[in-house]
C-alpha cells in the first residue's frame, strides 16, 4: 500500500467511484480466456457442487454434482470438467516459436500462445489449487479407478495454481486481484475481494454511488456470492430441498421423468447462483482489456509461455504428479525464483507506468528532471583506455536527494547507467545533479544519435534497476545437507528429480517448481477421499 | 552453581564446555545462544584459533561484509593464524581494518586462499563456492541467516558451530507465501531454527553474561526478551556511571540555539531525561498522545535534541574499561529507529557537532554497541500495531545496544494501542511457537519504562 | 450509574460462550462491542431491528457434516479419538479410554446442576476415587461436553468444551473438534486461530475448575488437541497447539474488564437496548431510538469487524457517513498519517485546507502525492506516453 494508492482510495470514497491507480494494464489478457466459476459444498473440504466454465461469454457450460456427498458423482464431475479443460490446455502446444537459447546455449522452443484461466476471487484460486491436489494423485487403474483425464486435470490445475504464485504471471488470473491492481475503491482491501462489490465501485450503475451499489451487491439475495462458498440461506432454502428431491427421484421406484425433472430443478437452482457471476466476470475482463497494456507485459507473458511449454512437455514425458509439499531443496529453489520474479515485476511495473513510478518519486527513489546541459562527447582519459563518459546536468524539484556516487537509470534508456558525480541541493525545492553516463551509447567514442539526452529533455531517473540477476546455485536434492534433514529417502528420488538436479547443475533458469520432489503419491488412501 | 560463581567464571565455564565439545565431542553441530554483548565474537575468534592450532582449517560464515571485516580484524589481532583468507566478491575493496593486517589474503576464489588457517566470507559469497568440504565451519549470527542461505553452504562443511543471539530480528523475505509454513525445512525461517528442528539433540549452550549491558539494563531486557533463559550482567551496579560535566543552564551550543525545530523542544524536560538516564540507565521521554505520520516531526526533533543535549552536557562515561572516564563522543551515541525515513529525517536535523552520531534502523544496529542509545519507540504515534512494529527482535535490538544508558522517545498511548491490538492473529499448524511474543515483550518493556518517565513540554 | 441488566432491558441475557469471549480479543479497542457483550445484549436481533441484518447464517450442510464428524470420533468409546491421542503421545499406547457423557440429562437439568456434576467428577478423579481407578492404573477419561463456569466482568459464563481428556497420569488436555480440513498438514490460519483462542478459554475454565476442586491447575496442559478431518476424507487427524500466547492475551483482556464497569458507569441512566416485543412479535422501540442509544457508546470500526461482529454493518455505515478513513482499512489509515477524516485528507492534499501544526508533515506528503498523481493523470491520453516510458510524467511537469 503506497501513499498514492491510499490517496486514491480517499478520492474514490469522496467521489463515489473507483479511481485508476495505473496508467497501463500490468497483466496479459488472453484472446479467449477460460472462465471458471466453481461452487463448493459447505462444510466439506473443497467438495465440488457445481461449476460454470467456458471461453465464450455466450455459451457457458454448467456442471452440477447432483449429490455432492457421492464420491462417484464427484469424480464424474471431475471427468466432465477434464473433458472441457484438458483439451483446451493442450491446444496451445502445437504452434511454437524459437526462444532465446538457455544458459548452456541449447536451443529452446516455446508455444506462441498459452491458455489462461480466469477465476473470480482468491478463494476460487484456492479451489483450483485444492481441486488439483484432490485429483492429481487419482489413478485410472486399480481400485477406485477414475477417468484417465482426471489425474491429468489435477496436474494441470496444480500447475496453474503454482504458477499463480509468481508475481507478474498471468496464466491464472484472479479477477478481484487484477482489478484491485488497477483501481482503488472507496472501501477496504478486505471488501475488495467480493467481486460484485468491487465492480459496483468501478462501474456503479446510473444514479448510484459506489458505496451504495457495493452495499447492495453484498446482499446475497440480490447478487449471489461469486463462490466457491454459497449463500447459507440459499443452501437451506433452495439447495437442500432440491438435492433431497433429486435423491428421492433417483430411487428405483421413481421414474426417469421424475429424475429428469428433479435434476433439471437442481440445475436451475444452481445456475441461478452462477449466471450473475458469469456475466460479472466477462464485464471485468472487458474492463481490463480496455486498458492499454504495459510495454513489459509481453515479456512476462513470454515467461508464462515458457513455463507452459515446459510443463506440457513434462506431462507428456514422465507424467508424474507434483508432490504434496516441496522438499527442502525444492522449497529453497522456489523461494529464490519467487523473489527474483517479484524483484523483476516491481521494477517493470514502475518502468511501464508513470503512476507507479510516481510512488517512487514520492519516496525519493526516482526523480523527474530537466536536462540543463549535456556534454555529449566527453572522454574520460584517467584510465588506461580512453572511454566515452558524457555528462549531463539535470535539475529536479522532486524530493529525491541523490547522493554523490549513487547510480541511476532512466527507463527510456535502460541500458545506460548514470552516476551522480556532483549534487547541489539549493535552498528552495530544486536539486541540481551532474550525471556521468556509461553504456547504451554504442561502441565508438562518439555516442549513437539519441543515446545521450539533449538539453531541454525531461526524463525520469530511478534507482530501480531492471537487470538480469543470475540464478543462485543449490545442492541437488540427494545432496540435502544434514542441517536440513539430509537427503530424502532414496525411493522418493525419481527419475524426474534426477533431471531437475541435472538442470540445476547446468544452471538452467527455467521454472522447475512443477517437478516432483520427494514424495510419491502412491500411498494415498484413494478410496477414502471424499468418502 | 552459576549463582555463586563470578560472571567471568560462569562465562568461562560455558566457553570451556563449547571448546571441549569441539575437541572431544562427536556431534555434527554445536549451538551457542548468546544474549546481547555476551562475548559471541570473542568465542568465535577463540574457536577459530583453537581449530587452527589443532591443524583443522575452518571456514567462517558471517552474514554481512561489515561482520566479516570485523571478525577478520579480531582474528588477525590474536596472532593465532598463519594466514587468514578473506573470500570476497569481485568488487570488494578491503576496508582499512582488513588492509592493515599482513596476515590477511583477499581472494575471490577459494583456491586463491590456499594455505589459510581460516577462510572468512559472507554466506552469499560462500554460496557461490561449488566444491570443497572443510571439517569445521563457524556460522556467525545464525538467527539473522535464512534457512535457504544455510542450505546453499552447508555442504561445504562436515561439522559446525552455530552462534547467534535469539533476540535479534528474524530474517524476512519480500515474498509473502504460506506455502512452506509448517515444514521443518521452511526456507523462510532462520538457519538456527532449521538446524535445531532437524537436529533436536545437538548440544545447546548459552552464554550467561552480558558484558555490554549495564546492571541497570539486564533485569528489564532479560525479563522482556529472554524470559526463560535469562542472563546476568558482567558488571556490578556501581561499575558504570555517567557524569554530566556541563550544567543545565550553561550548556547551550550555538547550533542548538540556531535550530528552530530543536528550540521547540522543551529544554528542561530534555535535561531531565538526560540526567535520569545518566543516573539510572534509562529514561522514557514521553510526548503527548497523538497519531502521527511515521516521521513524526516532534519525536524526530526530540531524538535529535536529546543527542545534541547529551553532547552539550559533556557526558563522561566511567566504566571498568575506562575507570578515569571517557567522554561520550558523538561516535559513542546511536539513535535507533524502525524505518529508514525516520533515520533520514533525524540525520537531517542533527547539527554538525553531532554529525558523527550513528542514526540507523534496528536491522542495521544489530551486533553494534554504544555508550548511550536514543530509541524512537517503534509504536510511537501509531494508530495500529502491525506485526512489523510488534516484532520482538526489533525492540530487543533497540533496547540492548548500550553500555551505559538508553533513552526511549515515545508518544503516550502505547499501552492503549497494545491493549486495543487484536489478539486473534493467524495460527499455523506444526510451527513451533517462539517466545517471547512481541506483544507481551512490548508490554513488559513498557511497564519497565513507566518508572523512568519524563513528560516532555 | 448503569447496570448491565438495565442496558439489556427485559430480554434474557444472550448467553456468553467461548466464542463470544474469544471475540473480545478480535477488536478489544471497541467500547460498543465490549458494552453490548458484557450486558449480554443479543446483537443479532439488534442488528436486524435497526436494518443491518448480520449474515452469519450457517448452512445445514456444514452443521450436518460437523455433527457427523464429531459422532464418528466419539463412537465406540471414542475409539477413533483415542487412536489419535496415542499417536500424539498424549496417551500411552495400549491405554483404554472411558467415554464419560457430561451433557445435560433430559430437558430439565439446570446449568448449575450440570456444573456441579462436572465439578464433582473432576474432584473424584483427582482424588483417585475407586470408581475411576487410582492414578496410573485407570483408563484415560474423556469427558464429553462437561460444563464449566467462569466469572467475567461480574457475570457467570457457562462454557461447554467439546471434550476434556484426563490422562492416566492425571494430565488434563482440552480437546477441540472442528470440521475444517487439515490438508497436507496445513489449515486456514484464521480458522486455527479462532479454534486456538476458543480452546484457550476452555483451558482457563478448566484450570479454574481444577483449582476449585482443590487441586493444582498445573495439571492442565497449555497445549490443546485440535481434531479435524484430514485432507479430503472424513478421517480425523490431531494436531497439538501451544496456546500460551492466547492465554496471555485472554488474561490481559480479562484484567481490563474493570474498564467496562467504568464505561457502563459513565453511560446515561436511561440508556437501554431493550427490544421487548408487543403481541404481534415486533419490538416496541422504534429503530431510530435504538440507533440513538447505540450512538451513545463509541465504536472503533475496522473492516476486520465485518467477519466477526453482528453490528459491523451498522458501524461501517456510521463510519462511512462520518467520512472516516477507518473504513478504508488499517493500512490506508497508516499511509494517510493517521488523519481520521477523509475530507481532511483531501483538503490537505489539494492545499485547500491549511494544516494544523501537528499535520504539517502529513500535509506535505499528501500534497506531493496529490501533485504527482494528477501530473501523471493529466496526460493519460498522451500517445507519446507508451513509447517513451516515463516521458509521460515528464510531459506532465512541463505542461
Give the model confidence (pLDDT) of B309-329 as tens digits. 999 999 999 999 899 999 999
Which residues 161-180 on chain C approach chain B with CB closer than 8 angstroms? Answer: none
Read off the pLDDT band of B425 (50, 70, 90).
Answer: confident
Answer for the pair A1, C335: CB distance below 8 angstroms, yes or no. Answer: yes
| A107 and A195 both lie in a single domain | yes
| A222 and A302 both lie in a single domain | yes
Q: Is B246 left (phi over 0), alpha (psi -120 to 50) or beta?
A: beta
The nearest CA of chain B is from the CA of A416 a distance in Å of 20
Residue A428 makes CB contacts below 8 A (sequence gap 6+) with none
By C-alpha distance, the chain B residue nearest A477 is: B151
C3-57 pLDDT, tens digit per residue, is 677 777 777 777 777 777 877 788 888 989 888 888 888 888 899 999 998 888 8
Q: Which of A266, A296, A322 is the last residue of a domain?
A: A322
Reply yes or no on whether the pLDDT at B288 is more than 60.
yes
Q: Among A327, A332, A362, A469, which would you mutate to test the B interface (most chain B Cβ atoms within 10 Å of its Cβ)?
A: A332
Chains that touch A (3 or more CB pairs under 8 A): B, C
Distance separating alpha carbons of residues B56 and B50, to the nearest angstrom = 9
Burial class of residue C25, CB neighbours in 10 A (0-12, 13-18, 19+): buried
Out of C183, C233, C320, the one facing A530 most closely (by C-beta) is: C233
| A117 and A241 both lie in a single domain | yes
Q: What are the chain C neighbours of B178 within 8 Å (beta carbons)?
A: 186, 189
| A295 and A371 both lie in a single domain | no
The nearest CA of chain B is from the CA of A474 a distance in Å of 5
By C-alpha distance, the chain A residue nearest C348 is: A7
Element housing B326 (H / E): strand B322-327
**Residue at A489 is within a domain:** no
| A26 and A114 both lie in a single domain | yes
Q: Which of A265, A292, A322 is the last residue of a domain?
A: A322
**Residue at A330 is within a domain:** no
**Residue at A502 is within a domain:** no
pLDDT over 90, % of chain A: 74
pLDDT for A523 equals: 35
The vertex-A361 CA angle with A360 and A367, nearest 5°, equals 125
Q: Among C231, C333, C352, C367, which would you mutate to test the A interface (most chain A Cβ atoms within 10 Å of its Cβ)?
A: C231
Read off the pLDDT band of C388 (50, 70, 90).
Answer: very low
Answer for the pair B401, C3: CB distance below 8 angstroms, yes or no. Answer: no
Element housing A237 (H / E): none
Burial class of residue A190, CB neighbours in 10 A (0-12, 13-18, 19+): middle
3-state helix, strand, coil in chain B (%, to 5): 40, 20, 40
- Cβ <8 Å between C27 and B422: yes
- Cβ <8 Å between A528 and C234: yes
- Cβ <8 Å between C327 and A354: no
**Domain encompassing residue A428:** 364-462
Read off the pLDDT band of B291 (50, 70, 90).
Answer: confident
Q: Among B123, B135, B179, which would you mutate to test the A interface (most chain A Cβ atoms within 10 Å of its Cβ)?
A: B179
| A296 and A398 both lie in a single domain | no
Q: Longest Cα pair distance anywhere in chain C, in angstroms?
A: 93
Chains that touch B (3 or more CB pairs under 8 A): A, C
**Residue at A277 is within a domain:** yes
Average pLDDT of span B249-266: 51
Partner B contacted by C186 (CB < 8 A): yes
Q: What are the chain B neighbours of C304 within 8 Å (beta carbons)?
A: 422
Half-sphere exposure of B425 (CA within 13 A, CB side): 13
Which of the two residues, C21 and B417, has the higher pLDDT score? Answer: B417
Read off the pLDDT band of A105 (50, 70, 90).
Answer: confident
Q: What are the chain B neighbours of C337 within 8 Å (beta carbons)?
A: 291-293
Partner C contacted by B186 (CB < 8 A): no
**Residue at A421 is within a domain:** yes
| A276 and A371 both lie in a single domain | no
- Cβ <8 Å between C185 and B440: no
Out of B181, B292, B297, the one facing C338 most closely (by C-beta) is: B292
A310-322 pLDDT, tens digit per residue, is 999 999 887 789 9
Q: What is the mean pLDDT of chain A?
A: 89
Partner A contacted by C236 (CB < 8 A): no
| A154 and A63 both lie in a single domain | yes
- Cβ <8 Å between A326 and B180: yes
pLDDT for C2 equals: 54
Partner A contacted by C55 (CB < 8 A): yes
| Bond into B212 cis (ω within 30) | no
The nearest CA of chain C is from the CA of B292 a distance in Å of 6
| A314 and A369 both lie in a single domain | no
Distance separating alpha carbons of residues A520 and C112, to the nearest angstrom = 55
Read off the pLDDT band of B260 (50, 70, 90).
Answer: very low
The nearest CA of chain B is from the CA of A244 a distance in Å of 37
**Residue at A498 is within a domain:** no
Reply yes or no on whether the pLDDT at C395 is more than 50.
no
Q: Which of A295, A322, A349 is the last residue of a domain?
A: A322
Distance separating alpha carbons of residues C14 and C2, to the nearest angstrom = 18
Q: What cell does B263 get?
A: 528550540
**Residue at A286 is within a domain:** yes
Answer for the pair B217, B279: CB distance below 8 angstroms, yes or no. Answer: no
pLDDT for A498 equals: 35
Partner B contacted by C265 (CB < 8 A): no
Which residues 189-228 on chain B approach chain A with CB closer than 8 angstroms? Answer: 191, 194-195, 198-199
Range with the poorest average pLDDT among A423-437, B396-410, C167-181, C340-354: A423-437
Partner C contacted by B227 (CB < 8 A): no
Chains that touch C (3 or more CB pairs under 8 A): A, B
Out of A339, A343, A475, the one facing B155 most closely (by C-beta) is: A475
Which residues 140-159 on chain C approach chain A with CB closer than 8 angstroms? Answer: none
Reply yes or no on whether the pLDDT at C1 is more than 50.
no
Q: What is the CA A396 to chain-centroid distance, rounded?
A: 36
Answer for the pair B150, B194: CB distance below 8 angstroms, yes or no. Answer: yes
A60-88 pLDDT, tens digit per residue, is 999 999 998 888 999 999 999 999 999 99
Read off the pLDDT band of A255 (50, 70, 90).
Answer: confident
A411-439 pLDDT, tens digit per residue, is 989 999 999 999 988 767 789 999 999 99
pLDDT for C10 equals: 72
**Number of separate domains in chain A:** 2
The nearest CA of chain C is from the CA of A323 a distance in Å of 10
Burial class of residue B250, CB neighbours in 10 A (0-12, 13-18, 19+): exposed
Reply yes or no on whether the pLDDT at B441 is more than 80.
yes
Partner C contacted by B114 (CB < 8 A): no
Partner C contacted by B260 (CB < 8 A): no
Counting one residue from A and one from C, how many pairs have CB atoms under 8 Å apart? 193
Q: What are the chain A neighbours of C335 within 8 Å (beta carbons)?
A: 1-3, 5-7
The nearest CA of chain A is from the CA of B221 a distance in Å of 31
Out of A23, A211, A355, the one facing C320 most closely (by C-beta) is: A211
pLDDT for A135 equals: 94
- Cβ <8 Å between A368 and C377: no
Burial class of residue C292, CB neighbours in 10 A (0-12, 13-18, 19+): exposed
- Cβ <8 Å between A332 and B195: no
**Residue at A297 is within a domain:** yes
ipTM for the predicted complex comes to 0.91
| A270 and A126 both lie in a single domain | yes
Q: How many CB atoms lie within 10 A of CB C34?
A: 23
The nearest CA of chain B is from the CA of A275 a distance in Å of 33
| A300 and A371 both lie in a single domain | no
By C-alpha distance, the chain A residue nearest B29 is: A483
The nearest CA of chain C is from the CA of A52 a distance in Å of 21
Q: Longest Cα pair distance anywhere in chain B, in angstroms?
A: 66
CA distances from C71 to A531, C15, C18, C88, C236 (A): 16, 25, 21, 21, 12
Distance separating alpha carbons of residues B167 and A350, to the nearest angstrom = 37
Partner C contacted by B416 (CB < 8 A): yes
The DSSP symbol for C186 reads B
Read off the pLDDT band of A493 (50, 70, 90).
Answer: very low
| A316 and A387 both lie in a single domain | no
Amino acid at each position: 500500500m503506497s501513499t498514492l494508492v491510499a490517496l486514491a482510495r480517499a478520492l474514490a470514497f469522496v467521489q463515489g467511484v473507483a479511481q485508476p491507480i495505473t496508467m497501463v494494464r500490468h497483466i496479459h489478457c488472453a484472446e479467449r480466456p477460460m472462465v471458471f466459476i466453481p461452487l463448493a459444498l459447505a462444510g466439506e473440504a473443497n467438495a465440488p457442487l457445481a461449476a460454470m466454465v467456458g471461453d465464450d461469454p455466450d455459451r457457458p457450460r454448467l456442471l452440477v454434482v447432483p449429490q455432492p456427498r457421492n464420491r462417484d458423482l464427484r469424480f464424474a464431475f471431475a471427468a466432465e470438467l477434464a473433458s472441457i479443460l484438458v483439451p483446451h490446455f493442450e491446444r496451445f502446444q502445437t504452434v511454437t516459436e524459437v526462444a532465446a537459447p538457455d544458459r548452456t546455449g541449447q536451443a529452446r522452443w516455446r508455444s506462441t500462445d498459452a491458455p489462461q484461466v480466469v477465476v473470480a476471487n482468491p478463494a476460487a484460486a484456492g479451489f483450483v489449487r485444492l481441486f488439483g491436489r484432490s485429483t492429481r494423485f487419482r489413478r485410472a487403474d486399480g481400485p477406485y479407478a477414475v477417468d484417465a483425464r482426471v489425474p491429468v486435470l489435477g496436474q494441470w490445475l496444480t500447475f496453474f495454481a503454482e504458477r499463480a504464485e509468481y508475481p507478474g504471471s498471468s496464466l491464472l488470473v484472479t479477477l478481484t486481484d487484477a482489478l484491485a491492481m488497477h483501481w482503488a475503491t472507496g472501501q477496504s482491501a478486505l471488501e475488495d475481494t467480493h467481486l460484485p462489490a468491487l465492480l459496483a465501485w468501478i462501474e456503479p450503475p446510473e444514479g448510484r454511488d459506489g458505496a451504495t451499489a457495493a452495499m447492495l451487491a453484498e446482499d446475497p439475495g440480490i447478487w449471489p456470492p461469486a463462490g466457491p462458498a454459497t449463500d447459507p440461506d440459499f443452501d437451506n432454502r433452495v439447495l437442500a430441498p432440491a438435492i433431497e428431491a433429486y435423491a428421492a427421484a433417483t430411487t428405483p421406484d421413481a421414474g426417469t421423468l421424475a429424475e429428469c425433472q428433479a435434476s433439471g430443478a437442481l440445475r436451475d437452482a444452481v445456475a441461478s447462483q452462477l449466471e450473475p457471476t458469469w456475466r460479472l466476470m466477462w464485464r471485468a475482463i472487458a474492463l481490463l482489456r480496455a486498458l492499454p497494456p504495459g510495454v513489459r507485459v509481453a515479456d512476462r507473458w513470454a515467461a508464462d509461455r515458457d513455463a507452459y511449454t515446459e510443463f506440457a512437455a513434462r506431462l507428456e514425458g514422465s507424467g508424474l504428479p507434483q508432490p504434496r509439499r516441496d522438499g527442502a531443496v525444492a522449497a529453497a529453489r522456489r523461494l529464490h525464483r519467487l523473489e527474483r520474479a517479484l524483484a523483476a515485476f516491481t521494477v517493470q511495473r514502475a518502468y511501464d507506468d508513470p503512476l507507479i513510478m510516481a510512488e517512487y518519486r514520492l519516496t525519493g527513489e526516482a526523480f523527474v528532471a530537466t536536462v540543463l546541459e549535456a556534454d555529449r562527447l566527453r572522454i574520460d582519459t584517467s584510465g588506461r583506455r580512453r572511454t566515452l563518459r558524457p555528462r549531463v546536468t539535470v535539475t529536479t524539484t522532486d524530493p529525491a536527494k541523490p547522493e554523490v556516487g549513487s547510480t541511476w537509470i532512466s527507463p527510456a534508456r535502460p541500458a545506460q547507467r548514470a552516476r551522480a558525480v556532483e549534487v547541489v541541493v539549493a535552498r528552495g525545492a530544486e536539486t541540481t545533479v551532474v550525471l556521468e553516463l556509461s553504456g547504451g551509447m554504442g561502441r565508438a567514442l562518439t555516442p549513437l544519435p539519441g543515446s545521450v539526452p539533449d538539453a531541454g529533455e525531461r526524463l525520469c531517473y530511478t534507482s530501480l534497476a531492471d537487470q538480469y540477476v543470475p540464478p543462485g546455485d543449490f545442492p541437488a536434492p540427494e545432496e540435502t545437507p544434514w542441517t536440513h534433514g539430509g537427503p530424502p529417502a532414496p525411493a522418493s528420488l525419481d527419475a524426474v528429480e534426477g533431471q531437475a538436479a541435472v538442470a540445476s547443475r547446468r544452471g538452467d533458469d527455467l521454472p522447475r517448481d512443477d517437478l516432483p520432489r520427494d514424495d510419491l503419491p502412491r500411498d494415498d488412501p484413494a478410496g477414502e477421499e471424499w468418502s | 552453581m552459576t549463582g555463586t560463581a563470578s560472571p567471568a567464571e560462569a562465562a568461562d565455564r560455558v566457553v570451556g564446555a563449547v571448546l571441549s565439545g569441539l575437541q572431544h565431542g562427536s556431534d555434527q553441530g554445536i549451538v551457542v545462544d548468546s544474549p546481547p554483548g555476551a562475548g559471541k565474537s570473542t568465542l568465535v575468534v577463540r574457536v577459530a584459533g583453537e581449530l587452527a592450532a589443532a591443524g583443522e582449517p575452518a571456514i567462517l560464515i558471517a552474514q554481512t561484509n561489515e561482520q566479516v571485516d570485523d571478525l577478520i580484524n579480531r582474528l588477525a589481532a590474536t596472532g593465532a593464524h598463519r594466514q587468514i583468507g578473506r573470500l570476497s566478491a569481485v568488487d570488494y575493496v578491503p576496508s582499512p581494518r582488513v588492509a592493515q593486517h599482513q596476515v590477511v589474503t583477499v581472494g575471490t576464489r577459494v583456491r586463491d586462499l590456499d594455505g589459510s588457517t581460516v577462510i572468512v566470507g559472507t554466506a552469499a559469497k560462500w554460496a557461490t563456492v561449488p566444491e570443497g568440504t572443510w571439517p569445521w565451519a563457524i556460522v556467525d549470527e545464525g538467527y539473522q541467516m535464512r534457512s535457504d542461505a544455510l542450505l546453499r553452504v552447508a555442504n561445504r562443511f562436515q561439522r559446525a558451530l552455530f552462534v547467534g543471539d535469539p533476540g535479534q530480528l528474524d530474517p524476512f523475505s519480500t515474498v509473502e507465501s504460506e506455502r512452506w509454513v509448517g515444514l521443518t525445512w521452511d526456507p523462510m525461517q532462520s538457519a538456527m531454527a532449521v538446524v535445531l528442528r532437524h537436529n533436536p539433540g545437538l548440544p545447546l549452550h548459552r552464554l550467561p553474561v552480558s558484558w555490554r549491558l549495564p546492571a541497570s539494563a539486564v533485569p528489564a531486557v532479560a525479563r522482556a526478551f529472554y524470559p526463560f533463559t535469562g542472563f546476568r550482567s558482567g558488571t556490578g551496579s556501581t561499575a558504570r556511571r555517567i557524569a554530566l560535566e556541563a550544567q543545565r543552564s550553561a550548556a547551550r551550543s550555538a547550533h542548538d540555539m540556531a535550530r528552530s525545530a530543536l528550540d521547540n523542544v522543551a529544554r528542561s524536560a530534555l535535561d531531565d531525561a538526560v540526567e535520569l538516564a545518566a543516573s539510572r540507565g534509562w529514561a522514557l521521554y514521553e510526548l503527548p498522545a497523538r497519531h502521527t505520520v511515521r516521521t513524526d516531526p516532534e519525536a524526530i526533533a526530540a531524538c535529535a535534541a536529546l543527542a545534541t543535549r547529551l553532547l552539550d552536557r559533556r557526558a563522561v562515561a566511567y566504566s571498568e574499561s575506562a575507570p578515569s572516564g571517557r567522554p561520550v563522543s558523538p561516535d559513542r551515541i546511536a539513535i535507533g529507529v524502525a524505518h529508514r525515513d525516520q533515520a533520514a529525517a533525524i540525520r537531517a536535523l542533527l547539527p554538525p557537532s553531532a554529525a558523527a552520531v550513528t542514526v540507523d534502523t534496528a536491522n542495521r544496529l544489530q551486533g553494534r554497541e554504544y555508550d548511550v542509545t536514543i530509541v524512537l519507540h517503534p509504536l510511537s504515534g501509531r494508530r495500529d500495531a502491525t506485526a512489523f512494529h510488534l516484532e520482538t527482535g526489533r525492540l530487543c535490538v533497540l533496547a540492548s545496544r548500550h553500555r551505559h544508558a538508553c533513552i526511549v522517545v515515545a508518544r503516550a498511548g502505547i499501552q492503549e494501542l497494545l491493549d486495543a491490538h487484536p489478539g486473534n492473529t493467524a495460527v499455523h499448524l506444526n510451527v513451533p511457537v517462539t517466545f517471547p511474543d512481541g506483544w507481551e515483550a512490548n508490554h513488559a518493556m513498557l511497564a519497565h519504562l513507566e518508572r523512568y518517565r519524563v513528560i516532555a513540554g | 450509574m448503569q447496570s448491565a441488566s438495565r442496558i439489556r432491558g427485559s430480554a434474557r441475557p444472550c448467553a456468553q460462550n467461548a466464542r463470544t469471549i474469544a471475540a473480545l480479543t478480535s477488536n478489544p479497542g471497541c467500547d460498543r462491542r465490549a458494552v453490548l457483550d458484557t450486558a449480554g445484549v443479543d446483537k443479532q436481533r439488534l442488528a436486524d431491528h435497526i436494518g443491518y441484518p448480520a449474515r452469519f447464517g450457517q448452512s445445514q450442510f456444514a452443521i450436518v457434516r460437523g455433527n457427523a464428524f464429531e459422532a464418528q470420533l466419539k463412537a465406540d468409546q471414542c475409539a477413533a479419538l483415542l487412536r489419535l491421542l496415542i499417536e500424539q503421545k498424549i496417551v500411552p499406547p495400549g491405554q483404554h479410554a472411558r467415554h464419560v457423557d457430561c451433557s445435560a440429562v433430559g430437558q430439565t437439568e439446570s446449568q448449575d446442576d450440570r456444573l456441579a456434576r462436572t465439578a464433582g467428577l473432576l474432584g473424584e478423579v483427582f482424588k483417585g476415587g475407586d470408581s475411576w481407578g487410582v492414578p496410573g492404573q485407570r483408563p484415560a477419561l474423556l469427558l464429553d461436553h462437561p460444563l464449566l463456569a467462569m466469572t467475567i466482568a461480574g457475570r457467570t459464563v457457562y462454557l461447554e468444551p467439546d471434550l476434556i481428556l484426563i490422562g492416566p497420569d492425571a494430565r488434563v488436555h482440552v480437546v477441540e473438534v472442528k470440521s475444517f480440513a487439515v490438508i497436507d498438514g496445513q489449515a486456514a490460519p484464521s480458522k486455527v486461530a479462532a479454534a486456538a483462542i476458543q480452546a484457550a478459554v476452555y483451558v482457563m475454565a478448566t484450570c479454574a475448575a481444577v483449582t476449585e476442586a482443590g487441586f493444582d491447575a498445573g495439571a492442565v496442559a497449555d497445549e490443546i488437541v485440535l481434531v479435524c478431518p484430514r485432507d479430503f476424507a472424513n478421517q480425523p487427524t490431531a494436531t497439538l497447539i501451544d496456546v500460551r500466547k492466547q492465554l496471555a492475551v485472554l488474561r490481559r483482556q480479562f484484567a481490563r474488564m474493570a474498564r467496562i464497569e467504568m464505561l457502563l458507569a459513565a453511560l446515561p441512566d436511561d440508556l437501554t437496548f431493550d427490544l421487548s416485543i408487543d403481541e404481534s412479535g415486533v419490538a416496541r422501540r422504534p429503530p431510530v431510538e435504538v440507533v440513538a442509544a447505540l450512538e451513545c457508546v463509541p465504536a472503533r470500526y475496522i473492516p476486520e469487524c465485518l467477519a466477526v461482529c453482528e453490528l459491523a454493518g451498522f458501524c461501517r455505515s456510521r463510519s462511512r457517513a462520518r467520512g472516516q478513513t477507518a473504513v478504508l482499512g488499517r493500512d490506508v489509515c497508516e499511509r494517510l498519517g493517521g488523519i481520521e477524516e477523509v475530507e481532511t485528507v483531501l483538503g490537505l492534499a489539494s492545499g485547500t485546507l491549511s494544516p494544523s501544526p501537528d499535520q504539517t508533515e502529513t500535509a506535505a506528503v499528501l500534497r506531493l502525492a496529490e501533485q504527482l498523481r494528477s501530473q501523471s493523470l493529466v496526460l493519460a491520453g498522451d500517445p507519446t506516453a507508451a513509447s517513451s516510458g516515463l516521458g509521460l510524467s515528464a510531459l506532465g511537469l512541463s505542461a
